[in-house]
Amino acid sequence: MEEPVFNAILGRRSIREFTDQPVTTAQLHKIVTAGIWAPSGLNNQPWRFVLIRDKDTAGRLAEQTRYGRIVESAPALIGVFLDTEAMYDPVKDHQAAGACIQNMLLCITEMGLGAVWLGQILQNKHRVNEILGLDPRYDLMALLAVGHPAHRNQRSRRRPLADFILNDIGGEKT
Ligand SMILES: Cc1cc2nc3c(=O)[nH]c(=O)nc-3n(C[C@H](O)[C@H](O)[C@H](O)COP(=O)(O)O)c2cc1C
């Protein structure tokens, strides 16, 4: 049985080095389409996006995070925001934003592109809104750096499953 979703989940790595090859508008729209098909509480779809391929804007955003080198070198950036006026429950809306972002990362993986979820820049999220000319009602959730991976040497680790399953109530006896 082919398992494209499971393979994308396990095969996805944070990509922090990119080639100079551009990311097209059609590619970005496909990625955002994957994002907006995430589930959200009451289907309120609170996510909003800013697509950035302008080097001057990227340079100014790069100054807002210690991961500026990644921001500067990525051919495309996607700012993911919650529209606070569309929100109905802080926990559930933030969960929806996470689902949206992961959908985009998996789509990016399937497309043969690469990305990293940048969260450290949230420390300067108000400045990010200023740079992007955005009203404060839009609350930055993440900046995704997107491009063609320069290499595929990334490795990542997870602790064993048993570390995470607290109990298996009613499961078969082994
Ligand atoms: C909420 C969140 C914030 C993150 N922020 C950053 C960041 O600011 N800079 C960075 O290089 N990676 C960032 N990452 C990526 C993680 O470092 C990465 O997902 C983790 O090390 C596991 O590696 P993997 O994505 O290749 O499995 C962030 C990931 C998440 C989920």
Ligand 1, atom nearest to 13 Cα:
26
pTM for this one?
A: 0.97
Class of domain 20-147: alpha beta
Q: Whose CA is nearest to atom 18 of ligand 1?
A: 14
Q: Can you give the pLDDT at residue 20?
A: 97
Boundaries of every domain in the chain: 20-147
C-alpha span between 100 and 31 (Å, rounded): 10
Q: Tens-of-pLDDT digits for all 174 residues of the chain?
A: 899 999 999 999 999 999 999 999 999 999 999 999 999 999 999 999 999 999 999 999 999 999 999 999 999 999 999 999 999 999 999 999 999 999 999 999 999 999 999 999 999 999 999 999 999 999 999 999 999 999 999 999 999 999 999 999 999 876
Nearest to 147 by CA among 65, 9, 36, 52: 52
C-alpha span between 111 and 28 (Å, rounded): 11
Which residue out of 118, 151, 154, 155 has the highest number of ligand 1 atoms within 8 Å of its CB and is therefore the one to mutate?
Answer: 118
* Ligand 1 midpoint to CA 53 (Å): 21
- Taken in order 160, 163, 168, 174, the sign of the CA dihedral is positive
Span between the terminal Cα atoms of the chain, in Å: 26
Residues with CB under 6 A from ligand 1: 13-14, 16, 67, 116-120, 154, 156
Burial of 145 (0-12, 13-18, 19+ CB in 10 A): buried
